[in-house]
Amino acid sequence: MYYTYGQRQGLGIGGVAGASEEPWYVIDKDVKNNQLIVAQGEHHRLYSEALWIHHIHWITETPAELPFSCKAKTRYRQADQSCHIEADPKGGYWVYFKQPQRAVTPGQYAVFYQGETCLGGGVIEAFKQDA
């Protein structure tokens, strides 16, 4: 449970003789069964097309109309990513990205921006992987 999606360091996994030398990444977790699922390289289940947040704390005004387009970050030092936010009829919000995002992780924050202005953010509770 202490590993994050996309984590590469600290896994303690060595290479296999004659196999790819690409690094290993955490791509999934099964906390109930104490299993960590890893894969080599970056072209696998690490990419998400959307994420779900139950509550967004808006620093500025709540958008007057949804869907609402803005930029978002799901990782520290990440470049701003184009997205649009839609209200989920069952509650919460879906955030859809223009380009699939790497290592979207439940428990971490998505923060929303318009230009240099921070609009607000919320805790990522789920993600939808790219098909």
Mean pLDDT of the chain: 87
Strands 126-129 and 81-87, sheet pairing:
unpaired
> Is the model's pLDDT at 11 over the cut of 50?
yes
Q: SS3 for 31? A: coil
Is residue 24 within 8 Å of 4, Cβ to Cβ?
no
pTM for this predicted structure: 0.76
Largest Cα–Cα distance of the chain, in whole Å? 58
Q: What is the pLDDT of residue 131?
A: 43
Quickly state the pLDDT bin for 130 (edges 50, 70, 90): low
- Asked if the model's pLDDT at residue 14 lies above 50, the reply is yes
Residue 49 has, within 13 A of its CA and on its CB side, a CA count of: 4
Grade residue 24 by pLDDT with cuts at 50, 70 and 90.
Answer: confident
- Report which of residues 34 and 8 the model is more confident about: 34
pLDDT tens digits along 104-117? 888 899 999 999 99
Q: CB–CB of 118/128 below 8 Å?
A: no
Specify the pLDDT at position 44: 64
Q: Which pLDDT belongs to residue 8?
A: 81
The CB density around residue 28, as the number of other CB atoms within 10 Å, is: 14
Burial 101-119 (b: 16+ CB within 10 A, else e): bebbbeebbbbbbeeeeeb
